[in-house]
Structure 1
Amino acid sequence: YSLPNGNHNRSGFFSIYLYCSQHCSSNIMQELIEPSQLQRFILRQYRWLQSMIFAIEEINKNPNLLPNITLGYGIYDTCFLISTALEGSMWLITGQEELIPNYRCTSHTPLVAIIGDATSGASIPMARLLGLYHYPQISYYAAADILSDKFQFPSFFRTITTTEIQSLSIARLLLHFGWTWIGILVEDTDFGEISMQSLKEELAKTNVCISFSEIVPTIYSPTKINHIADVIKKSSANVIVNICFDAYIVPLMEEVSNQNITGKTWLASVSSSTSRDLFKNHRARTLTGAIGLALPKSNIPGLRHFLLNLHPFTSQYNMYLETFWEEVFYCKWANNDTYHTMITNEIGNNIKLCTGKENLNELNISFFDVSESRTTYSVYNAVYAAAHALHELYTCKPGQGPFGNGTCANIHYFEPWQLLHYIKNVHFVNKLSEEIYFDKKGNSLPMFDLINWHLNTDGNLEYVDVGRIDFRLPPGKELIINNTALMWNGGHKEVPRSVCSESCPPGYRKAARPGEQICCFDCIQCSEGEISNQTDSSDCLQCPDDHWSNARRDKCIPKLIEFLSYKETLGVILASISIVSSLLPAAILYTFLKYHETPVVKANNCELSYLLLFALMLCSLCCLIFIGRPVAVTCALRQTAFGIVFALSVSCVLAKTIIVVIAFNATKPNSSLKKWVGHKLSNTIVSMGTLLQVIICIIWLTSSPPFPQQNMKSEPGKIIIECNEGSPVAFWCMLGYMGLLATVSFIVAFLARNLPDSFNEAKFITFSMLVFVTVWLSFIPAYLSTRGKYMVAVEIFAILTSSAGLLICLFFPKCYIILLRPDINTREYLMGKGSQQ
């Protein structure tokens, strides 16, 4: 503690010593550690202390700021202990070493403001205490969100941004680099707990998942440190977010380095991102490529000169200068009984004595590098904020003051709450032309620098600025980063991957694994007719009805339009066969007409043969209606024409069969069947058989006619242009009636197969009907099991096959006699042959 002569005093709280290093026993409680057990002197925090002294001395020399007022200071080393921070706060409030709450031993206010503490863990209880008395507290490093609550902490301010903004910044970085599988380390303090909760809430708004979250002890514990190192080693997360003060995380990083755990990317918060104690060269394999948030940097004019002029013999009112000297020169003052563990470890028994003649200018250490002051700059601004507030109080004009009846506060006897009013409204431009002010919650500007730790060619770890996050910019433009300047662990330039499951490419969707976080999933290809055209799609999109998914399931393409066309091979073949098949009965008809006087043609009702040949010719030609794009006319005609023509053909066969039976039975004496022999009966059978089919088709066409439709369901990826039969009942009635005629013809012919005479066609009719019935019985399952153009092809094949069966069985034997055996085409020969049978 040091206090020069002056009118007013402000106090700074700094943690210069860390009580327990990794060599301490893990069961020692913080409250029981004696000052003699101090273990490690931290140069980084000591520079913060010096920046406060520098700022105060600079203010005292400034004639335009607080003229004729000299500021003093008191410095308290909290040693990272909450109890010590509270004890120091009570000393300042009461003005004496004996702590008596609600009592102040001095008649005036010696305390202007408290600058500190660094850690949120100590600042929170300090702020609760100081808020009761309305003493302004300005922290340069405490970022916990809870401190923004003006109801709980009415007198707390800070020159850095909050944990909420830090958590939002971390989330933006994770999303920017595509890291969705991370680990989190926080310190075992209130700040650590608050930071953990804040980050989890922010990550819950994104697709980032947490592989593990561990609490780093503030007092060294080998068991806990080994456990955390083991978790890090086993985790598949390659990115670890570190929200720990550097003094707490160093033991863990030492263990991680000792276990040679590499390949991890460390994302450091403001608490440790620029710490030289953490980023030591012997941890380069572990920490190279670390990226971190850092307070905005600045080069404070005159600070380097001030630091280089520190000396234990010439500097007054400056604590720890002798310890600082021992630390940077690795020496020991002859009259110093305190021996530091760090020095012992580094120089062993080769201890040299400090003389005071050592030259700080010869040292090349980061302590004197003020070109990138960050926390140091935050301390500097905190001191100036208090000074400007005090200046406003000092220059208040009576009658224009902010208090009752326009009164002003007395600079020598003001109350803490009076200065608090001015600190809330402080707004000034510092020597570096930057605006400094506090928002309604007592926070500073929401912005961070982004730094990246590189391994230089000389083997040293150095950080470089790679961007900035500034939440004053429009949404979506807050992150400014130079990706080409980044270097990752192992010296790689490619951004490392940290995902639980690799991204699902387009054409696949994510399927969550039962019992695991949403970041852990399997990739399942979209079903037919569905696509996903983005990476990591949660669902597949259904293609429109007239489109289908391609093979990769990443694009909807128009469905193939299918019908039996004249332009395709199958259509050409069937059309050709149909035409040829129609020419055969036409040729046979021509032959029969040419030889109509021969006995073979005259036998068994030649008119029925002519009509049957004509019907068979139409049967083959009606196949052409089935080929081509279906339209309303062809759909209405194809089945009805086919049904009527075939009914005519089968009726002719039935008439021929009945005529054969009647003719042979009419030759018997006293037969009553003689009157039925003739053209009248055959014409009646043909007419009635065909008429019934015509009636069925008329009813079908009038009630529910066939119509063309686009069938998009039967075959994936195709639009089948087909004829909807309209009424399936009518369709099957038409086929059933045709089958009935064929069955009756078959039965009658089968019964008459053994009748005598060479003119008996019963055998041939039997075979023809057997072929006919077999074809159509086979047609039914084949027709029902096919779709699209092949269904049409099956029906055409059945028509052609059954027509060919009738033609071959009934007319080829006669054509053989007419054309090849005219010698036996005589009545005598045929009658003689018949009588022999």
Structure 2
Amino acid sequence: FLAISSLSTKLLRITFSLSECGLMKTACWAPKLQVHLSLQLIKFTYIHLTSFTHAELIKCLHSVNLIDFRMAQTMIFAIEEINTNESLLPNVSIGYRIYDTCGSRLSSMSATMALMNGQEFAAGDRCNGQSPIHAIIGETDLTSDTTLIMYCLFVLCFLLQISPSATCECLSNKKDYPSFFRTIASDYHQSRALAHIVKHFGWFWVGAVNSDNDYGNNGMAIFLKTAQEEGICVEYSVKFHRTEPEKLQKVVETIKKGTAKVIVAFLSQVEMGNLFDQLSDKNIKNFQMIGVEAWITSESLMIPNSFHVLGGSLGFAVRKIDIEGFADYVTKEFWHTAFPCLQREGNSSQYGLNCSRYQDLLGLKNYNDDVTEQRYSNNVYKAVYAVAYSLHSLLQCTKKGGCEKSLTILPQQVKTVVAQYEVVNWQQDLNGSIHFKPVGYYDASLPPDQRFVLNTENIIWAGGQLEVNNLQCPGEYWSNAEKDKCVLKAIEFLSFTENMGIVLVFFSLFGVGITALVAILFYSKKDTPIVKANNSELSFLLLFSLTLCFLCSLTFIGRPTEWSCMLRHTAFGITFVLCISCVLVKTIVVLMAFKATLPVSNVMKWFGPAQQRLSVLAFTLIQVLICVLWLTISPPFSYKNMKYYHEKIILECSLGSIIGFSAVLGYIGLLAVLCFILAFLARTLPDNFNEAKFITFSMLIFCAVWITFIPAYVSSPGKFTVAVEIFAILASSFGLLFCIFGPKCYIILFKPEQNTKQHVMGKNPSKSF
């Protein structure tokens, strides 16, 4: 029975091992000092197993990590309970070895090699497969990093690893880690619980910081995914490692410049300590910290002036469970059995000779105030019993025989423990002492609506406030009526389902229907003089363009998207230019037919149907080119306007380039003005059916609509802006349709006797359309 001086260390990280020691109830605990290698020299991924063969044994620094020391005591306590239990593993004793890794990952690997190679410390060049070890309990590193490294070594010898503290969700992958088990819940549950507690208090605008390792990255990834599902906006998500001071500085600057006042800190104890130091030095405070079990109950953070930065922190801690008889054991029985020197009689010099090497530990002999606060000891206790019951079942089954098939258990069949957390709150009493006060719990085994319970009346918030932080809601959120939660603002846009949208859709489709009826009527009377006048092809092309104008108004209704915003403005610009181009060419034909000094036949020869079609195409292509340049340089895009109203968001289409939109409107206006001037000049031509008069009137309506549109468009709020634009499109389209085609339809339907060449020619029979 060897002494435990190797446990007197500055940073105690214990690797437990269990081995069967035969039938005798004797202890076989053999602590060894660990090999110390510099982390800066070798990375684990490139280490060969022979790296530890000739390493020099060195001692750890003298200081006791009380939490890990209690874990060691818990393991011994559980083993002694089992060894005295006649019903569990009868006639079999469990032995143990404890290795102190001094907080070094490479020391942990060295200890692992010792465990796998038997009694001698790293004696072989490779794993010899002869180790009597049946299971490894550990490591107790809370960040899971060392556990991941150790597993890679354990799996080579097919050793079972049980961790009481490694929570990384990555270790739940049984395909990659088939022989890894744990007595603590994975961070999958804790990460989701973090999102739920944030949502519970209506904090929809938060910042996120995590350790840049497997523990922090996996945990934060789950939180971010859950936060997105719950509608929580994360302003920033930054990370750093304890060995990267430059990144830590950037993280602190991000927190300082950010607007989020709630910070979810998925950090290990070390990284949280580093972050606290920087926040404290820069006097950055009054942030509501939401923490994880790795640091939320860490006594190492309970230093003077820590409350002004971390006061009011909320987080999830491993639930405290009292182990019956353990408190008495750690103050009495443990010291009498583990330290034989205390039982020897003799003078003080003899006492000093036998016990001086244990002086760091002996200072804890009569101290047990921390026992009730231990949160991971129960996980060690359960881990020892899990191995014991497994061995018991195996031995019982072997004795009975014929049960090999029933022992075939796949790793993925083994379930992890139920996630049960205690919600703790950093509070300070009158004398300045910091306490971790329980204010609720989270139990994943309960139904979803019962898992999360909080007593908000007992919570102290950031800055020592007795009420919730009056946090500013982010841009897309608005305070509820009680002013205690941020709720999503209502999003406003002109939809197809509301009354205004339905009315506008009706008139748009009504215009399409009327235009189609006119086209059908004209096609059925295409050989009559009134249809043939002034080139019937232009009339049908004009009707087609008017149909497109009516339809393009539909693109302005519905939720604006990137594509719909680009489509609505370009479709509007091109269809209206096509429409006005047809009217302009019709006007030019009227003028050339009546005002030309040359014979009619020669004039129309130079501006016949082919030239008229090319003119329309040329006018339209110019607008297409303008739209292409607009979409290429700075296209329209969907935009959330949060400035006009405080309580709702206007979802609208930003024009992108104002110059582009102005060029589109300006070109339409230019053609319309030119058409109006030419039609005005031709209004007095002597015929019974002078189409120029109707074109003039249609252009007056068109220009009047779009001139009044501009101030109405600018002054209309929200979805009414789009409604005004649609109204202008429909009004100008109806104006062109009724003014140009209305009189012709009237004659065709009600005055067929006037649909003759002579009547259309009037007093100028020599002139021809």
Q: TM-score, normalised by structure 2?
A: 0.52
* 1:473 and 2:446 are equivalent in the alignment: yes
* 1:198 and 2:171 are equivalent in the alignment: no
Provide the secondary structure at the position in 2 that maps to 1:240. Answer: strand
Q: Distance in 1 between matches of 2:477 and 2:270?
A: 38
Provide the secondary structure at the position in 1 that maps to 2:372. Answer: coil
The residue aligned with 1:821 is: none
Query: What whole-Å deviation, never above 9, does each CA across 1:704-761 have from its counterpart, x for those lacking one?
Result: xxxxxxxxxxxxxxxxxxxxxxxxxxxxxxxxxxxxxxxxxxxxxxxxxxxxxxxxxx
What is the Cα deviation at residue 92 of structure 1?
1.7
* 1:53 and 2:54 are equivalent in the alignment: no
What is the Cα deviation at residue 459 of structure 1?
0.7
Contact 2:62 2:360 in 1 (8 A): no
The residue aligned with 1:798 is: none
Provide the secondary structure at the position in 2 that maps to 1:255. Answer: helix
- Gap runs ≥5 in structure 1: 322-332, 339-352, 407-417, 425-438, 508-518, 521-533, 549-780, 786-837
What is the Cα deviation at residue 197 of structure 1?
2.4
The residue aligned with 1:70 is: 93
What is the Cα deviation at residue 443 of structure 1?
1.3
The residue aligned with 2:291 is: 268
What is the Cα deviation at residue 394 of structure 1?
2.3
Q: Distance in 1 between matches of 2:31 and 2:254?
A: 33
Q: Distance in 2 between matches of 1:383 and 1:103?
A: 25
The residue aligned with 2:372 is: 371
2:278 to 255, 266, 274: 255
The residue aligned with 1:237 is: 260
Contact 1:115 1:382 in 2 (8 A): no
1:98 to 112, 123, 126: 123
The residue aligned with 2:597 is: none
What is the Cα deviation at residue 544 of structure 1?
8.5
Q: In structure 1, what residue type is equivalent to 2:202?
A: G
What is the Cα deviation at residue 38 of structure 1?
4.4
Q: Distance in 2 between matches of 1:504 and 1:163?
A: 32
Count of residue pairs the alignment pairs up: 459
Change (3 A) 1:547 1:13: farther
Out of 150-159 and 200-209, give the one that drifted further.
200-209
Q: In structure 1, what residue type is equivalent to 2:490?
A: S
Contact 2:162 2:182 in 1 (8 A): yes
User: Equivalent pairs: percent with the same residue?
Assistant: 27
The residue aligned with 1:504 is: 478
Provide the secondary structure at the position in 1 that maps to 2:289. Answer: strand
Q: Distance in 2 between matches of 1:311 and 1:101?
A: 36
Q: In structure 1, what residue type is equivalent to 2:167?
A: A
Query: What whole-Å deviation, never above 9, does each CA across 1:588-623 have from its counterpart, x for those lacking one?
Result: xxxxxxxxxxxxxxxxxxxxxxxxxxxxxxxxxxxx
The residue aligned with 1:83 is: 106
* 1:448 and 2:421 are equivalent in the alignment: yes
Contact 2:20 2:133 in 1 (8 A): no
Contact 1:11 1:76 in 2 (8 A): no
2:204 to 170, 180, 186: 180
Q: Distance in 1 between matches of 2:98 and 2:362?
A: 27
Contact 2:162 2:181 in 1 (8 A): yes
Q: Distance in 1 between matches of 2:109 and 2:360?
A: 37
Contact 2:242 2:274 in 1 (8 A): no
Contact 1:51 1:376 in 2 (8 A): yes
Q: Distance in 2 between matches of 1:183 and 1:385?
A: 40
Contact 1:140 1:382 in 2 (8 A): yes
Out of 252-261 and 486-495, give the one that drifted further.
252-261
Q: In structure 2, what residue type is equivalent to 1:50?
A: Q
The residue aligned with 2:159 is: 135
Contact 2:206 2:235 in 1 (8 A): yes
Q: Distance in 2 between matches of 1:190 and 1:400?
A: 43
Provide the secondary structure at the position in 2 that maps to 1:538. Answer: strand
Query: What whole-Å deviation, never above 9, does each CA across 1:56-108 have from its counterpart, x for those lacking one?
Result: 122222222222222111112234433333332232222242343341346xx
What is the Cα deviation at residue 35 of structure 1?
5.3
Taking only aligned residues, the RMSD between alpha carbons, in angstroms, comes to: 4.5
Query: What whole-Å deviation, never above 9, does each CA across 1:286-312 have from its counterpart, x for those lacking one?
Result: 111111111222111111112223887
Contact 1:16 1:45 in 2 (8 A): no
Q: Distance in 2 between matches of 1:457 and 1:44?
A: 27
The residue aligned with 2:490 is: 537
Q: TM-score, normalised by structure 1?
A: 0.48
Q: Distance in 1 between matches of 2:430 and 2:22?
A: 53
Q: 1:687-702 to 2 correspondence within 5 Å?
A: none
Change (3 A) 1:378 1:542: same
The structure number with the bigger radius of gyration is: 1
Q: Distance in 1 between matches of 2:287 and 2:335?
A: 43
The residue aligned with 1:433 is: none
Query: What whole-Å deviation, never above 9, does each CA across 1:629-653 have from its counterpart, x for those lacking one?
Result: xxxxxxxxxxxxxxxxxxxxxxxxx
Q: Distance in 1 between matches of 2:381 and 2:226?
A: 31
Provide the secondary structure at the position in 1 that maps to 2:271. Answer: helix
Change (3 A) 1:441 1:231: farther
The residue aligned with 2:716 is: none
Q: Distance in 2 between matches of 1:176 and 1:113?
A: 40
The residue aligned with 1:287 is: 310
What is the Cα deviation at residue 445 of structure 1?
0.5
The residue aligned with 1:387 is: 388
Provide the secondary structure at the position in 1 that maps to 2:203. Answer: coil
Higher helix share: 2
Provide the secondary structure at the position in 2 that maps to 1:266. Answer: strand
Q: Distance in 1 between matches of 2:102 and 2:277?
A: 21
Q: Distance in 1 between matches of 2:40 and 2:130?
A: 39
The residue aligned with 2:642 is: none
Q: 1:624-635 to 2 correspondence within 5 Å?
A: none
The residue aligned with 1:396 is: 397
Q: In structure 2, what residue type is equivalent to 1:446?
A: A
The residue aligned with 1:580 is: none
Change (3 A) 1:27 1:6: closer
1:6 to 5, 21, 29: 21
Change (3 A) 1:504 1:250: closer
Q: In structure 2, what residue type is equivalent to 1:377?
A: N
Change (3 A) 1:224 1:77: farther
The residue aligned with 1:701 is: none
What is the Cα deviation at residue 169 of structure 1?
0.9
* 1:487 and 2:476 are equivalent in the alignment: no
The residue aligned with 2:181 is: 157
Q: 1:281-430 to 2 correspondence within 5 Å?
A: 281-309=304-332, 315-316=338-339, 360-361=365-366, 363=367, 368-396=369-397, 398-403=399-404
Change (3 A) 1:360 1:74: closer
The residue aligned with 2:434 is: 461
Q: Distance in 1 between matches of 2:311 and 2:77?
A: 34
Contact 1:281 1:460 in 2 (8 A): no
Q: Distance in 1 between matches of 2:202 and 2:328?
A: 44
What is the Cα deviation at residue 26 of structure 1?
11
Provide the secondary structure at the position in 1 that maps to 2:197. Answer: helix
Provide the secondary structure at the position in 2 that maps to 1:504. Answer: strand
Q: 1:764-775 to 2 correspondence within 5 Å?
A: none
Change (3 A) 1:243 1:301: same
Contact 2:311 2:462 in 1 (8 A): yes
Contact 2:33 2:59 in 1 (8 A): no
- Gap runs ≥5 in structure 2: 5-17, 45-54, 343-351, 502-703, 709-769
Change (3 A) 1:401 1:4: closer
Contact 2:459 2:466 in 1 (8 A): yes
Query: What whole-Å deviation, never above 9, does each CA across 1:217-237 have from its counterpart, x for those lacking one?
Result: 234x55444443333333222
Query: What whole-Å deviation, never above 9, does each CA across 1:208-256 have from its counterpart, x for those lacking one?
Result: 233333333234x554444433333332222222222213322321232
Q: Distance in 2 between matches of 1:14 and 1:246?
A: 27
Provide the secondary structure at the position in 2 that maps to 1:91. Answer: helix
Q: 1:12-27 to 2 correspondence within 5 Å?
A: none
Q: In structure 2, what residue type is equivalent to 1:63?
A: E
Provide the secondary structure at the position in 1 that maps to 2:450. Answer: coil
Q: In structure 2, what residue type is equivalent to 1:236?
A: T
Q: Distance in 2 between matches of 1:275 and 1:16?
A: 27
